Each structure stands twice: as C-alpha cells, then as structure tokens.
Amino acid sequence: MDFLKKNIWLVVIIVLVALFVMNGVNTIPTQDEKVKAAWSQVDNQYQRRMDLIPNLVETVKGYANFEKSTLTDVINARASATKVTLSPEMLSDPEAVKKFEQAQGAVTNSLSRLMAVSERYPDLKANQQFLSLQSQLEGTENRIAIARKDYIETVQQYNTTVRTFPGRIWAMIYGAQPKQEFAATEGADKPPAVKF
C-alpha cells in the first residue's frame, strides 16, 4: 500500500497506457472487418444486378424491332463487368478499384440506354415481365447507391483511423493501408445519349 501511495502517478500512467494499448490493438482490425462487410454488401448488390440482366435481355429480345445494338451493348457490358472482380484485399489498390468502377459504370450506362430506348415500344412497356424486371432493376440500383454510400462512410472512418494518431501507430504495426473510396465515373453528371 505504501508503494501505491508513493507512486500513484506511475500507477495512473501505467493504467492509461494499458487502456490505450488495449483499445488501439483492436481498432484497426475491427474497422477493417467493417470495410470488408460493407464491400461485401456492395458486391452483393452488383451481383443482384448482373443476375437480373439476362432475364431483362431475354424479355426484350422478343420484340423484333427492338434495337439490337442496345441489347448487344448490355450483353457486352455485363460480360466485361463479370470479368473484373474486386476482392476485399484489393480495396487499397487504386487501379483495381478504378477498373471495377469503369466496368460497373459501363453496365449502368448500357442499362440506362436500354430503359430509355424501351420508351419507344408501347408493347414492351406494357409487358408485365418487363415492368417487373424494370422495377427490380430500379430497386437494385437504389440498393447499390445505398451500399456504396455505406461503404464510403465505413472507408472514411477506417482511413481517418489509419491516417491519424494513435491509429497511425497501429497501422504501421499491422501494415494497414488506406482503402479506396468510390469516385463518380467520368460523365456520370450527364444523362446517357439516346438517338432515335
């Protein structure tokens, strides 16, 4: 007891350092897991969209007058996008994220053109299967936007921890790198060009 009374400041410092270490040890791995989970949700929504596209294309193919080039663009964009994968381990690689965003952006643009061109076909617009797929696709696009927003927020929190003190110390110990956020794709501020 005498030792405690004489060295109270030393004991307080040791306790504070111990709390600091215990808290910091788990911060980066915990936030890294949150980033991975958020990314999995983004990837899940993109996969949902990819799964809807073949049904949409088959429904639209039934209309003989429908622009074949628009359908070909959708099919090619989907095929290209399925070749570009982005694992959670690659989220720190700006080039890999950029390639993934470009592939998904091509799918988004081709689907936008498909939906815009479909306005010219009253029979297609009245087809219940097409309307159902269109509604599911719109819902999926909204889910993608929400999942991307959640991912961006999670990455922002992770990157702030990795780049600031004391997280920077733990980042060096773990070898943690900042993760890439989504950026707006080039031309996203302009509506797709549709020529009749």
**pLDDT value for 64:** 55
**pLDDT value for 195:** 45
Domains and CATH numbers, the chain: 2-174 (1.20.1440.20)
Determine the distance from the C-alpha atom of residue 5 to the mean position of all C-alpha atoms in its chain, rounded to a whole number: 55
**pLDDT value for 99:** 94
**pLDDT value for 186:** 63
Mean pLDDT by 10 residues, the chain (196 residues): 74 76 79 96 95 90 75 92 94 94 93 86 84 92 95 96 88 91 66 45
**pLDDT value for 23:** 66
- Structural contact between residues 86 and 43, judged by C-beta atoms closer than 8 angstroms: yes
